[in-house]
Structure 1
Amino acid sequence: MKKLFAAATVIALLLVAACTAPAEREENSGKVKIGAPDGTGGMIIHYLVSEKGYGNAAVHSDFELYPVKDCCSSTSQWALSTNLYDLAVMCPDAAASLLEKDSRFEIISPCLINSDIVVLKTGLPPQKIGVAQNRTHQAQIVAEHFGAGCAVATMLPAALPYAYEKNAVDGVVVDALRGLTMSGDKLPATAEAAGHITYVLVINKGFKKDPRYQEFLHLFQESVGDLNNPDVLLEEIRKYKNIEFTRKEVELWSRLGIRYVFTAAQTRG
């Protein structure tokens, strides 16, 4: 019995050591793993994987999408820190929190502007606006539009449309793909020409050594250009979320200043 107990203790200690030891990214081991939210921020990754994964007759099968429901959750940041992902599309608040805790990661570029929009009850001066928890930048959107006199109610992202429907709040800040299907007035994240950064691209620095890094940058930049084309955008929204937007919604998308961007430098061989 003592031997069995000792053996079990050794196994338990080995398991603890394996779980707590800092994991290093394995070079070129299988697919490149990309974390992405399930809204507008994830659409560009979906497009990159499903539409840009082909080059003439060659199939780029190195990229794999892992949907992340809420990039601001501790689970999503844990997934990056434990090397589950090589890259991820994250909101600025989640990215800043991750970088503060883990120096192995860096932001290489903003990738979405104004993709969080304000949806308001028509004709009502707002007294309380719902925002997603842990998203300071959404509270800033509310303050810019309505000043300090408007209260902010934080809740889970999935609860925002329900709170709006049940009149628990006068408006909400939500992802554009959800907000444009809701009734009410639509306001942009900001009236400033430069726009409001709503998502950034975060990478594990170790991935920069991977030859597929430059290929990813190239495909990502192409995807940005494609999705800023109204015709491509309409088709991709249908494929990504099975939402039948019309030209009216796409024109509103443009008026709200929603656009994909990419500023990272790339080296083509």
Structure 2
Amino acid sequence: MAAMKKLFVIAAVAVLLLTAFLYPQRGGDNGKVKIGAPDDTGGMIIHYLVHEKGYGDAEVQHDFELYPVKDCCSSTSQWALSSNQYDLAVMCPDAAESLLEKDGRFEIVSPCLMNSDIVVVKPGLTPQKIGIAQNRTHQTQIVADIFGQGCATAPMLPAAIPYAYEKNAVDGVVVDALRGFTMTGDKLPATPVEAGHITYVLVVNNSFKDDPRYQEFLDLFQQSVEELNNPDILIEEIGRYKNIDFSREEVNQWNRLGIKHVFTIPEMRG
């Protein structure tokens, strides 16, 4: 009897070890899906997916609350991904490309947001200097395309952009839409609306792709994209996400600026 009990214990331990090996959990996450997201327009779809679509196993972690720099292009944010802290993340294209060059364990799933960078300028001025977020090479090109090569750029932390604009340190800024709509001034699209400009992409840790929750996430993500492009749902979600009382006219301006959520995985298309 004692020998049988010992064999049972050994077998149970072996099963536990095999399970831990085959289905490892990320450190300290209790098996939850870890999603990194910015705290601006790019993170709104994740907020909606988790809180309104019921992706209950997810634990949303805004990188930028865990680390001192609120910037997906920062080395700390990319370190969080490379250290296997996240299964999925929403990142700007510059940060995503930089990550993929350094770490082959990740891939871009799909663009997820278009035209959410907007330009806010002081009325009646010919801009001489435009504030942009640091490490965003595409924003330098945006300034050159709109204002010409003679207009200078002033790279800075994203959180400092509204302050620099308010204090007249710059004549205008390239800024996230949700921040830009709270600022006074003329709102311009960062690129021609017809052409479109990808401002955020969805990135996956390849080790997560075999998890059945990944397909569930993709299904809910596609639903969230479609719903957030509905003006009524958008107004409600902006209120929940940022406590901003968005008006119908602001939604119309949002649409004129070409801001929209997208999802382009071929196998997910209707």
Task: Give the TM-score range, shorter chain.
Answer: 0.7 to 0.9
Offset at 1:194?
A: 3.1
SS at match of 1:193: coil
1:63 has 2:58 as partner: yes
Inter-CA distance 203–183: structure 2 relative to 1 (3 Å threshold): same
Name the CA distance, whole Å, in 1 between partners of 2:80 and 2:238.
Answer: 27
Name the counterpart of 1:116: 117
Q: In the alignment, residue 115 of structure 1 is paired with which amino acid?
A: S
Name the CA distance, whole Å, in 1 between partners of 2:220 and 2:147.
Answer: 39
Offset at 1:176?
A: 0.3
Q: In the alignment, residue 26 of structure 1 is paired with which amino acid?
A: P
Name the counterpart of 2:236: 235
Name the counterpart of 1:131: 132
**Is this contact kept in 1: 2:128–2:171, CA < 8 A?**
yes
Name the CA distance, whole Å, in 1 between partners of 2:104 and 2:161.
Answer: 33
Q: Which structure 2 residues correspond to residues 146-225 of structure 1 after superposition, within 5 A?
A: 146-225=147-226
Q: In the alignment, residue 129 of structure 1 is paired with which amino acid?
A: I
**Is this contact kept in 1: 2:87–2:208, CA < 8 A?**
yes
Name the CA distance, whole Å, in 1 between partners of 2:179 and 2:172.
Answer: 13
For structure 1, the residue ranges without an aligned partner over 5 or more in a row are: 1-23, 54-59
Q: Which structure 2 residues correspond to residues 72-83 of structure 1 after superposition, within 5 A?
A: 72-83=73-84
Name the CA distance, whole Å, in 2 between partners of 1:48 and 1:107.
Answer: 19
Inter-CA distance 263–130: structure 2 relative to 1 (3 Å threshold): same
TM-score relative to the length of structure 2: 0.85
Name the CA distance, whole Å, in 2 between partners of 1:106 and 1:173.
Answer: 27
Q: After superposition, what is the alpha-carbon deviation per residue over 1:52-71, rounded to whole angstroms, capped at 9, x for unaligned?
A: 01xxxxxx421111113311
Please tell me the root mean square deviation across aligned C-alpha atoms, in Å.
1.7
Q: In the alignment, residue 63 of structure 2 is paired with which amino acid?
A: V
TM-score relative to the length of structure 1: 0.86
Name the CA distance, whole Å, in 2 between partners of 1:80 and 1:265.
Answer: 26
**Is this contact kept in 1: 2:164–2:170, CA < 8 A?**
yes
**Is this contact kept in 2: 1:218–1:266, CA < 8 A?**
no
Q: Which structure 2 residues correspond to residues 6-155 of structure 1 after superposition, within 5 A?
A: 26=24, 30-53=31-54, 60-69=55-64, 70-155=71-156
SS at match of 1:172: strand
For structure 2, the residue ranges without an aligned partner over 5 or more in a row are: 1-21, 65-70
Q: Which structure 2 residues correspond to residues 245-256 of structure 1 after superposition, within 5 A?
A: 245-256=246-257
Offset at 1:27?
A: 5.8
Q: After superposition, what is the alpha-carbon deviation per residue over 1:140-192, rounded to whole angstroms, capped at 9, x for unaligned?
A: 21111111111010001111111101111000011000001100000012114
Q: After superposition, what is the alpha-carbon deviation per residue over 1:106-156, rounded to whole angstroms, capped at 9, x for unaligned?
A: 001000000010000001000100000011111121111111111010001
**Is this contact kept in 1: 2:193–2:257, CA < 8 A?**
no
Inter-CA distance 76–25: structure 2 relative to 1 (3 Å threshold): farther
SS at match of 2:62: strand
**Is this contact kept in 2: 1:189–1:195, CA < 8 A?**
no
**Is this contact kept in 1: 2:193–2:258, CA < 8 A?**
no
Q: Which runs of 4+ in 1 moved over 6 A?
A: none
Q: In the alignment, residue 234 of structure 1 is paired with which amino acid?
A: I
Aligned identity (percent) is 74
**Is this contact kept in 2: 1:214–1:266, CA < 8 A?**
no
Q: After superposition, what is the alpha-carbon deviation per residue over 1:53-112, rounded to whole angstroms, capped at 9, x for unaligned?
A: 1xxxxxx42111111331111111000001110010000110011000000000010000
